[in-house]
Amino acid sequence: MTKPNLESINLQLDTANLVQTSDGRFTAIGALPAWLSDFGCSAQSEEPFQLESHLLFFDTYLLEVRDRLLREPDAVISSGPWSETDNTGLVRNLSALALQVDGQLVIQIKLIPRKQQYQQAIFQQARNYSLKFEQLVREREHKEILLHTIIHDLAGPLTSIHGVLELMERGRTSSQLTTIGLEQCQVQKRMIGTILDTFVSLDSSNALPGSRSEAPDVIFSAQQAYAKFQPAFENKKVTLRLSLEPHEQLIKVVAEEDLLERVFANLLENALRHSDEGSTTELKVELSADRVVVSVLDEGTGISSNVIASLFDRYTSSGDNAGNIGLGLYFCKIVLERWKGSLKCENRTDTKGSLFQFELLRFDSKSESI
Amino acid sequence: MIGAYAVGKTSLVDQFVLSIYSDAYHTTVGVKIDKKVLQVNDTELTCVIWDIAGEDEFYTVSNSYLRGMAGFFLVVDSTRNVTVKIALSLLDRIQETYPNIPFIVLLNKTDLVADRDINNADLALLKERAIDVIETSAKTGIGVEHAFQDLANSIISSRP
């Protein structure tokens, strides 16, 4: 029985064995495996070739090997796994060993078979768990903060209502004070509503419209908001003007109808609060390529420069605290961002007052990124 | 490409080299090597891109992979502030051996606006040491080509 030769063993193992020549190039020891020809190395050729011009990894690895063998001539230097795309466009997972035999550098290159890519699978699993863990920690922190904030935010209005009720219970209020007390309760009730709405929106994970029929029509929402606020503006002797630039009747946007209604309401309430008698507020809807731009332009006092950068943060108000707890604009910002829209504000340059502008994606142009 | 695991290094390379993106996360083991010819100021520059596996408790980046690099991207995930801290520690280690190699910080996954979780003070520590911080999205492609062009320009201009 004849012993198998080294060449047959290498072919069977699908490994490439190369030895470095005196000019720094490499020649094959025996035949080269077929996969190496996909990197441009001829499987049959006995001509020396520049290994690093076919397998880019060797550009650096050979430097490392040379340095290491100078220090430790008997070392067997493993490359660790690497991937490289061959000339057919296939990504190959490879590993190599380098050692010195009789003063010559020998390199063995091995294809890592898919079924043996245990290391990859273990890393993948470990990192998936690790990512999941990070995500859970973040979610827990988020919920703890949310819970703490809700308790903190509700404490104020509830204490206020409690105070009014206590006075009434003790019979220490006149009918006039009772009326004021009840009005205060109504104000606090609205605040509680705003607080709860805001946190519900903040924690709502996915309520985007799935189909065109569920998506709200921004023209209709603007008209509704205009009709709803017109009397309040009139009452304060402020003109509210509605400008609808798009000619289309129906413009569906990526938003949730009830929340969109509140975005309109918050911005119009804000404009009304800061507008003086005799001024005009304009609610404008315009179209760009794939978006709808809604602007609320008032002729009020404008936004103070030290507040403008943090105006959309929680509890930032523009200075006038009449019924304003600083959550309205924050609410607008978070819901608009959830819809992949945006909100900005600036002082007007054409006249006094401010501009609040939000953009929404048109539902028809809803991209795959949503 | 250097950075913590799952910051999107491989996706950035895939977007740059092949103009493709996949949402599936496939961790890199060792290093993945790609090549692309880039046009920089009327000159063709062949970029050999070493996408080095992200570092964590399971894997440490081997310094030998960094040998011969002309420049690098330090990639950070804009939705995970911990990746900024990892980037800072990697940078300290890299600059011990390679103090003058130009690098750009890529703030990746910026399409995930609502999930952004970056401490600006931490990012500022990276900013003051990098040539630039570029916001990218491997998913939408935003900033990717620009980042490679910028780094290529910096590499060319840093050469004597």
Read off the pLDDT of residues A40-71 as tens digits, 9 standing for 90 and up.
Answer: 887 666 788 899 989 999 999 999 999 999 99
d(CA A113, CA A133): 31
**Does position A320 have pLDDT exceeding 60, yes or no?**
no
How confident is the prediction for chain A on average, in pLDDT? 82
pLDDT of B103 reads 96
pLDDT band, residue A290 (cuts 50/70/90): confident
* Minimum distance, in Å, between the CA of residue B157 and any CA atom of chain A: 23
| DSSP code, position A216 | P
- Say yes or no to pLDDT of A321 above 50: no
Q: For the ranges A22-31, A306-315, B56-65, B139-148, which has the lowest average pLDDT?
A: A306-315
Is A127 close to B25, i.e. CB distance below 8 A? Answer: yes
Measure in Å the smallest separation between the Cα of A85 and chain B Cα atoms. Answer: 7
- Tell me the two tokens of residue A67: 């340095």
- Residues of chain A positioned with their CB less than 8 A from the CB of B50: 60
The tens digit of pLDDT for each residue in A139-182 reads 887 677 667 667 766 777 777 777 777 777 777 667 777 777 77
Question: Can you give the three-state secondary structure of chain B, one letter per residue?
Answer: CEEECCCCHHHHHHHHHHCCCCCCCCCCCCEEEEEEEEEECCEEEEEEEEEECCEECCECCCHHHHCCCCCEEEEEECCCCHHHHHHHHHHHHHHHHCCCCCEEEEEECCCCHHHCCCCHHHHHHHHCCCCEEEECCCCCCCCHHHHHHHHHHHHHHHCC
Does this complex have an ipTM over 0.90? Answer: no
* CB A265 within 8 Å of CB A226: no
Most A CBs within 10 Å, among B5, B33, B69, B140, to test the A interface: B33
Q: Which tokens hold the place of B122?
A: 């931490």
B16 touches chain A (CB under 8 A): no
Does B67 lie at the interface with A, CB-CB under 8 angstroms? yes
**B82: contact with A, CB 8 A cutoff:** yes
Query: Which residue is closest to A119 within chain B, CA to CA?
Result: B29
- Any chain B CB within 8 A of the CB of A123? yes
Who wins on pLDDT, A238 or B117? A238
Average pLDDT (B58-64) is: 76
Residue A323 pLDDT more than 70?
A: no
The answer to whether A30 and A6 have CB atoms below 8 angstroms apart is yes
Task: Determine the Cα–Cα distance for residues B130 and B141; give it in Å rounded to an integer.
Answer: 22
d(CA A320, CA A370): 37
CB contacts, 8 Å: A123 with chain B: 27, 29, 53, 58-59
pLDDT confidence of residue A367: 43
Please name every residue paired with A198 in a beta bridge, in sequence order, or none if there are none: none
Whether A307 contacts A318, CB under 8 Å: yes
Instruction: Indicate if the pLDDT at residue B75 is higher than 90.
Output: yes
Angle between helices A257-273 and A218-235 (to 10 degrees): 30
- Whether residue A261 lies within 8 A of chain B, CB to CB, comes out as no
Percent of chain A, pLDDT > 70?
A: 84
pLDDT at B58 over 80: no
Between chains, do B64 and A64 touch, taking CB under 8 Å as contact? yes
**B56 interfacial to chain A (CB closer than 8 Å):** yes
What is the Cα–Cα distance from B91 to B4, expressed in whole angstroms? 11
User: A161-175, A321-335, A343-357: which range is least confident on average?
Assistant: A321-335
Residue-wise pLDDT tens digits, A190-240: 777 777 776 676 665 555 666 677 789 999 999 989 988 888 888 889 999
Q: pTM above the 0.80 mark?
A: no
Residue A319 has pLDDT above 60, yes or no: no
Q: Does A160 touch chain B (CB under 8 A)?
A: no
Give the model's pLDDT for residue A173. Answer: 64
Q: Are strands A26-28 and B31-40 parallel, antiparallel or unpaired?
A: unpaired
Higher pLDDT: A206 or B13? It is B13
Q: Where are the alpha helices (DSSP H) in chain A?
A: 6-13, 34-37, 51-54, 58-71, 118-169, 175-203, 218-235, 257-273, 305-308, 328-338
Q: For residues A110 and A16, give the distance between their C-alpha atoms in angstroms, rounded to a whole number.
A: 7
